[in-house]
Amino acid sequence: MQLFQLHQPVALTEPVLVLGLAGWGDAAAAASDAVDWLVEDASMIATFEPDAIFDYRSNRPILRFTAGEPLTVSWPRMELVHANPSGRDVLALVGNEPDFQWAGIADALVDMAERFDVSHVVAVGAVPTPVRHSMPTAVFGTSSDSRLLMPGDEMLMDEIVVPAAAGSVFRAELERAGFPTVGYWAQVPQYVGRPYQPAMHALLVKISEQIGVDINLTEVEAGAYDQIKRLDEILEKRSDARDFVEGLDISVGTTSQIPTDLPTADEIAEEFSKYLRGSDGDVES
């Protein structure tokens, strides 16, 4: 079975390759939402064959009904797309984290990066962390080349061992092939769900710096401000939730001091989710 289909080649000038798949390592979908926003008007470069890379029991197709009649099936996808924000060529790997063929996909990405003369690779992700939404979103980074670091970049210096996301594996293979790489991970409060625009905005700021152009993020920044304001309103109405969130400042270093009778993160997330849902059941952006 063919792994991917390469569409009509385009002429690019030293594009940056951005990796931002939905799935593991994408808390509240902050990273994938950020990359999707960046390449909203993108053109297709390559599509990966769903049957070759997805287990439909874990990445199930979405069936949509209208008036009791099944009308459409949306399949999980992974695509390489091209966008040109503010005149800068960007390639982005978007869609769902694959279940299979990670090594084969990595080889294909290396081949395409060489074909299109990619300048460097930017991988983004988001991790759930015991932090408050009222604090500025912290972003930590890793880099194979110190020349890619920007002023103010906070690097992850500790040695950690974690299950790998597909995007991190692809980044490692691209790095092995000689492409300079940098990665940014936003810290997302463990009690929020999708969308979480403060982390999305923080990652877009880093991506903008890495691709070397100014991107108008006014709309995303306004959405982040509005979301923080709405979350604060929830805490004003629920003292138990407020106590839990305020306790997260303690939990960073001394988790044993957190009271045990407070609501769980899942309970608060559900409360936030109910509050942010519109009348049609969709989460407001």
From first to last of its 285 residues, the chain has per-residue pLDDT tens of 899 999 977 899 999 999 999 999 999 999 999 999 999 989 999 999 999 999 999 999 999 888 777 778 999 999 999 999 999 999 999 999 999 999 999 999 999 999 999 999 999 999 998 888 988 999 999 999 889 989 889 887 777 788 899 999 999 999 999 999 999 999 999 888 889 999 999 999 999 999 999 999 999 999 999 999 988 888 787 777 677 777 775 444 333 333 344 444 455 566 555 655 543 444 443
Whether the ω angle into residue 85 lies within 30 degrees of 0, i.e. cis, is: no
- Boundaries of domain holding 265: 221-276
Residues 251 and 204 grouped into a single domain = no
What's the burial of 158, exposed, middle or buried (CB within 10 Å: 0-12/13-18/19+)?
exposed
Residues 128 and 210 grouped into a single domain = yes
Residues 99 and 201 grouped into a single domain = yes
CATH classification of the domain holding 78: 3.40.50.10900
Predicted TM-score (pTM) of the model is: 0.84
Number of residues in the chain? 285
CB atoms within 10 A of CB 147: 8
Q: Which residues of 32-58 are buried (b: 16+ CB within 10 A; e: fewer)?
A: bbbbbbbbeebeebbbbebeebbeeee
| Token pair 């000038």 in the structure block, residue | 13
Say if CB 93 and CB 105 are below 8 A apart: no
Q: How many domains, the chain?
A: 2
CB atoms within 10 A of CB 110: 18
Rounded Cα–Cα distance for residues 114 and 121 (Å)? 12
Residues 76 and 173 grouped into a single domain = yes
Residues 121 and 235 grouped into a single domain = no
Nearest to 27 by CA among 166, 214, 195: 195
Report which residue type is found at 165. Answer: A
